[in-house]
Amino acid sequence: MVKGILKGMFVVLKHSRRKPVTVEYPEKEIPWHTKRFRGRVILNLDTCIGCSLCSQICPNESDHMVYFDYDNGKNKRKIYPAVNIGTCTYCGLCQAICPTGSIRLSNDMTLASFEKDFDYLPDRLSRTEEELKHHD
Amino acid sequence: MEEKILEVNFGPQHPSTHGVLRLKVKLNGETVLSAEPIIGYLHRNAEKLSEFNYYASNLIFMDRLDYVGNHNMELGYVLAVEKLAGIDVPERAIWLRMLFAELNRIASHLVWAGTMGLDLGMITPFFYAFRERERILQLFEMVSGARLTYNYISIGGVYNDLPNEFDEKFKEFVNDFPARLNELKSLFEKNEIFIQRMKGIGILPPEVAKSYSITGPVLRASGVNYDIRKISPYLYYDKVDFEIPISHGMDNYARFEVRFKEMEQSLKIAKQVYEKLPPGEYQNSLYKKSGLINIKGAGESYVRTESPRGEFGVYVVGDGSKKPYRVRIRSPAFHNLSAVNEMVKGLKIADLIATLSTLDPVFGEVDR
Amino acid sequence: MIYSILQLINFILTYIGISYSQYLPPYGALFQRLIVDTIGALLIFIAASLTIVVVIYIFRKWMADLQQRIGPNRVGPYGTLQLIADALKMFGKEDIIPDNVDPILFRFAPYLVFIPLIMSYLLIPYGTIYHWAIIFTNVNVTLLLIIAFSAIPPIGEIIAGFASNNKFSLIGALRAAAQDLSYEIPMMISLIGVIMLTGSLNLNTISQYQWHYIPIAILEPIGFLVFFVAVLSKMAVVPFDLPESESELVSGFNVEYSGLRFGIFYLGVFGSIFFGSLFISTVYLGGGSDLPFLPGFGYIWLLIKAFIFTFLFLTIWVSLPRIRVDKYMNFGWKYLLPLSLINLLWTMVLLLFIHGVL
């Protein structure tokens, strides 16, 4: 009458011999590949041509074009994307549609900072979080 | 002595209603007289919002409908848009889509197995099921870059190809999984207390199921042989070899058996698809990069696919412009949930919770 | 020489100089006795609370081990101070009392559940260390007192469920009443078998009997199994945790309790787990009595037996589903009760055999 119950308990007891699978996160690194991980949006100011396709395709209007005075020879109207990383859904459509590959999603997932403003203008968007922390 | 009817609200915040469901239950002592579901607490307006965006941007709304089995949701929408706009898809992309849809079916059924244990009071199977699901999520992250909102299937193919590290990890997963699945099943299968709580409870005869338009594993556990992958195959499902598990038990235990057998069959399909992958392109080159904006379509189309919960249908109406006119979603969990009242008349409170867990609703899909 | 703890406290007080037995007899001796007993009761209260804290720590680490994860490991070395952090957090919470509850009964119910449990810890003989016997009470009816004390917590649960103005807790209270009624009777009938074999109600005598002869678990296996299942049901752990079914009734009878009042219920659950394992190892396995060839270590044997049972109960908690109410009462009345009566018959045959008639 209790054979099934005992078999279940035996399976549970067998697991106590296996090692735990928890990774104690900030002290130890995550042991699998995160090359394609979709983290924060990052912009390469030198190759952006200002076609505004990324702001048209963004589903919830987090990406909008603003005027920014930086001359890289290809961008005649001098408009660059500015992204609100608070409302961004990290979907990667802007990365998929960009014809020159200037806007892409980096591996950055540690986004906590002391700034209250989530709307990143193009110069802030072109630096990673590490550089932003050391710069301020 | 007259009956005293106690009306209890199993409210939106409850540890085991699988999301935000409100049930108005009328009790007589411990016996349930009627249970009326009230939904709408997770309505995020996916259908109307899709009218203001391009065809390619609407994928993220479909992703978040059924958040444990996402590839099937994206697949339904993408197939409907491709039929509307007349877009061809290369061979390798079709096989890749099948591979990920089947892996996602396994992941979704693992969530069901863990939460069914929690509803009955067992804490441990939850951790074992999520440990196996973690391996599948690592595979997905390797390919698409995210663990829950993949956004991987695109109109015209898939966004990325498989990286080099995929081969080793996939083979490791496929070799380990059958033994672990048997271990998880043995915690439930012959356990006398589990059998006592699930056999003969929540009977759903096939005529009642057909009249409520219930599909998926719930229908197959009542004895009706209906699976869209065999009746009207959509990707290359007619070129792989698999079976549809059916049971004539009509009760909770039959649904439990059908879903575990489905996991084994999905693994079989995934292995065959991986061996048959041809080399080639993975995305239609007209719609790569900046061509994503140019998708236009006029007319209407309806495509149905088999998601882990049943028949998932998307109906798209286009009027010739770059944004759709109407997107309508037929969600399987919505129709499955409507039969709760029929199934629980005369049972106890504990059986109500157990029956609801074998119906496996996900409220992102019910409320859209 | 065998000293008991109370004699030890008496000795210490005389040594310091606080001794009233020579003043105004017999009132001085009574006053002395009062002080000694109070200090003994305080000691057992502190010791029981510390033991419960250790049992909760073991539960969290063992459950994590069975589920392939690490338990608490940040607060203190290997997570040992985690429970103290939890207790401090509970002390600091706001005392929320819902609107339409019964004011006196709502506040009174947690203590009805917790205090008889701590009082039952006073009655168990803890064995010996060298020449010192750790015994607090030595009356002739300790078994009866333990059964009486273990009948009070279900009343506390029913009052808690009834006084909170909530339909879920009312259902939980009704289930607590059903559970208490169905499984106490088989437990008491299997204890009658033990009393008939050993001939007394004194727990001390029962454990000494098992030192002289063999453990009663071997003489009466059916009674041991029935008692095991009945104690499992009294402790309210899965598969028998009906009054507090977490996934159905959202915590059953203690839904409306928060902060320190909930903490008292929580300590009560783990206290009854450890008490159940102490009880079953004293009555059926001779806990606390020494082995004949190795005197002086009775306390250590009791601890080993109690911890083996605690691990067994915790493993059962983690791996089994919950039984439905009517199947539960079915099991109690139709299977356990006849088995305990068969055990009684078997004990009678055994007694006739021992006294040489058969």
Q: Enter the DSSP assignment of A10.
A: H
What is the biggest distance separating any 2 CA atoms in chain C, rounded to whole angstroms?
Answer: 68
**Percentage of chain B lying above the pLDDT 70 cut:** 99
Q: Is the pLDDT of residue B156 over 60?
A: yes
Q: How many CB pairs under 8 A join A and C?
A: 31
Q: Is the pLDDT of residue C341 over 50?
A: yes
Provide the pLDDT for residue B263: 92
User: Do C273 and C235 form a contact (C-beta atoms < 8 A)?
Assistant: yes
Task: Answer whether residue A7 is part of any domain.
Answer: no
pLDDT greater at residue C8 or residue A41: A41
Q: What is the mean pLDDT of residues C119-125?
A: 85
Q: Is the pLDDT of residue C339 over 50?
A: yes
Order the strands of the B22-28 sheet from edge to edge.
B6-10, B22-28, B31-38
> Across the interface, which of C68, C316, C318 has its CB nearest the CB of A21?
C68
Find tokens 């409320």 and name the residue.
B367
Residues of C with CB under 8 A from a CB of A: 64-70, 73, 315-316, 318-320
Q: What is the mean pLDDT of residues B243-261?
A: 91
Provide the pLDDT for residue C134: 74
Provide the pLDDT for residue C355: 80
CA atoms of C206 and C216, how far apart (whole Å): 9
Q: What is the mean pLDDT of residues C227-255?
A: 77
Q: Is the pLDDT of residue A92 over 90?
A: no
Dihedral angle over CA of A53, A56, A62, A68, nearest 10 = 50
- Look up the CATH number of the domain holding residue A117: 3.30.70.3270
Q: Angle B361-C237-C185 (CA atoms, 0-180°, nearest 5)?
A: 125
Q: Is the pLDDT of residue B299 over 80?
A: yes
Burial class (CB in 10 A: 0-12, 13-18, 19+), C185: middle
Q: What is the mean pLDDT of residues B149-159?
A: 87
CA atoms of B83 and B299, how far apart (whole Å): 10
Q: Closest chain C residue to A22 measured between Cα atoms?
A: C69
Q: Closest chain B residue to C320 measured between Cα atoms?
A: B122
Q: Closest chain A residue to C65 measured between Cα atoms?
A: A16
Task: Answer whether residue A129 is part of any domain.
Answer: yes
On chain C, the residues whose CB falls within 8 A of the CB of A3 are none
CA atoms of A38 and C258, how far apart (whole Å): 41
On chain A, the residues whose CB falls within 8 A of the CB of B294 are none
Q: Per mean pLDDT, which range of A31-45, B293-307, B342-356, C280-294 is the poorest?
A: C280-294
Mean pLDDT of chain C: 83
If one counts the domains in chain A, the total is: 1
Per-residue pLDDT band for B256 (boundaries 50, 70, 90) equals very high
Whether residue A15 and residue C66 make contact (CB cut-off 8 A), yes or no, is yes
Q: What is the mean pLDDT of residues B205-213?
A: 91
Mean pLDDT of chain B: 89
Rounded to two decimals, the pTM is: 0.89
User: Does A5 touch chain B if contact means CB atoms closer than 8 Å?
Assistant: yes
Helix ranges, B87-211 (H)? 91-120, 124-144, 166-188, 192-198, 206-211
Q: Closest chain A residue to B191 measured between Cα atoms?
A: A4
Task: Answer whether residue A33 is part of any domain.
Answer: no
> Is the peptide bond between C239 and the residue preceding it cis, with omega within 30 degrees of 0?
yes
CA atoms of B251 and C167, how far apart (whole Å): 29
User: Do B190 and A7 form a contact (C-beta atoms < 8 A)?
Assistant: yes
CA atoms of B228 and A19, how far apart (whole Å): 42
Helix ranges, chain C (H)? 5-16, 27-66, 82-91, 103-121, 142-149, 152-163, 167-198, 203-212, 216-219, 221-234, 260-283, 298-319, 325-331, 337-354
- Rg over alpha carbons for chain A, rounded to the nearest Å, is 23
Q: Angle A12-A17-A23 (CA atoms, 0-180°, nearest 5)?
A: 100
CA atoms of A105 and A96, how far apart (whole Å): 10
Residues of A with CB under 8 A from a CB of C: 5, 8-9, 12-13, 15-16, 18-22, 24
> Across the interface, which of B183, B194, B292 has its CB nearest the CB of A57?
B292
Task: Answer whether residue A4 is part of any domain.
Answer: no
Q: Is the pLDDT of residue B170 over 50?
A: yes
Q: Enter the DSSP assignment of C1.
A: -
Using DSSP, state whether B34 is helix, strand or coil: strand
CA dist list (Å): B165 to A31, B138, B279:
14, 11, 17
Structure tokens given for C166: 């909530």
CA dist list (Å): B164 to A24, A35, B151:
28, 12, 20
Amino acid (1-letter code) at residue B315: Y
**Chains touching C, CB cut-off 8 Å, 3+ pairs:** A, B
Per-residue pLDDT band for B171 (boundaries 50, 70, 90) equals very high
Cα dihedral B128, B215, B121, C324 sign? negative
Whether residue A21 and residue C69 make contact (CB cut-off 8 A), yes or no, is yes
Give the model confidence (pLDDT) of B44-66 as tens digits: 888 898 899 888 888 888 888 88
What is the biggest distance separating any 2 CA atoms in chain A, rounded to whole angstroms?
Answer: 82
> Across the interface, which of B142, B146, B187 has its CB nearest the CB of A8?
B187
Amino acid (1-letter code) at residue B181: L
Mean pLDDT of chain A: 84
User: Do C132 and C3 form a contact (C-beta atoms < 8 A)?
Assistant: yes
**Percentage of chain C lying above the pLDDT 90 cut:** 8
pLDDT greater at residue C251 or residue C321: C321
Give the model confidence (pLDDT) of A56-87 as tens digits: 888 888 888 888 888 888 888 888 889 888 89
Q: Is the pLDDT of residue B1 over 50?
A: no
Q: Is the pLDDT of residue C320 over 70?
A: yes
Q: Is the pLDDT of residue B184 over 50?
A: yes
| Range with top average pLDDT, B81-90, C35-44, C138-147 | B81-90
Provide the pLDDT for residue B264: 92
**Percentage of chain B lying above the pLDDT 90 cut:** 36
Whether residue B121 and residue C321 make contact (CB cut-off 8 A), yes or no, is yes
Q: What is the mean pLDDT of residues B16-42?
A: 85
Task: Answer whether residue A64 is part of any domain.
Answer: yes
Query: Nearest Cα to C276, choosing from C163, C153, C109, C156?
Result: C153
Structure tokens given for C229: 């299942």
A115: containing domain:
39-135
On chain C, the residues whose CB falls within 8 A of the CB of B128 are 67-68
Residues 6+ positions from B274 with CB-CB distance below 8 Å: B99, B170, B174
Order the strands of the C3-4 sheet from edge to edge.
C3-4, C132-133, C128-129
DSSP secondary structure string, B186-226? HHHTT-HHHHHHHTT-S---HHHHHHTT--THHHHTTT---
> Is the peptide bond between C25 and the residue preceding it cis, with omega within 30 degrees of 0?
no
Task: Answer whether residue A54 is part of any domain.
Answer: yes
On chain C, the residues whose CB falls within 8 A of the CB of A20 are 64-65, 68-70
Residue B163: CB atoms within 10 A of its CB come to 13
- Rg over alpha carbons for chain C, rounded to the nearest Å, is 22
Q: Looking at CA atoms only, how far is residue B360 from chain A in angstroms?
A: 24
CA dist list (Å): A91 to B74, B77, B327, C132:
13, 17, 20, 72
> Across the interface, which of A7, A91, A98 has its CB nearest the CB of B190?
A7
What are the beta bridge partners of residue A63? A83
On chain B, the residues whose CB falls within 8 A of the CB of C66 are 124
Provide the pLDDT for residue B303: 92
CA atoms of B107 and B113, how far apart (whole Å): 10
Structural domains of chain B ordered from first start: 55-344+355-367 (1.10.645.10)
Percent helix, strand, coil in chain A (nearest 5)?
A: 25, 15, 60
Q: What is the mean pLDDT of residues C161-178?
A: 80
On chain B, the residues whose CB falls within 8 A of the CB of A32 are 138, 141-142
> Across the interface, which of C69, C315, C316 has its CB nearest the CB of A20?
C69
Residue of A95, A97, A103 to mutate for B, most B C-beta atoms under 10 A: A97
Whether residue C319 and residue A15 make contact (CB cut-off 8 A), yes or no, is no
Residue of C61, C62, C63, C66 to mutate for A, most A C-beta atoms under 10 A: C66
User: Does A7 touch chain B if contact means CB atoms closer than 8 Å?
Assistant: yes
CA atoms of B82 and B75, how far apart (whole Å): 10
Query: Nearest Cα to C308, choosing from C209, C177, C217?
Result: C217
Number of helices and strands in chain B (H, E): 15, 8
**Domain residues of chain C, as ranges?**
1-74, 93-128+140-354
Query: Nearest Cα to B188, choosing from A8, C237, C63?
Result: A8
Q: Closest chain B residue to A20 measured between Cα atoms?
A: B131
Q: Is the pLDDT of residue B2 over 60?
A: no
Provide the pLDDT for residue B261: 93
Q: What is the mean pLDDT of residues B327-347?
A: 90
Q: Is the pLDDT of residue C1 over 50?
A: no
Task: Answer whether residue A19 is part of any domain.
Answer: no
H or E stretch at B298: strand B298-307
CA atoms of C241 and C233, how far apart (whole Å): 8
Distance from chain centroid for Cα B202: 21
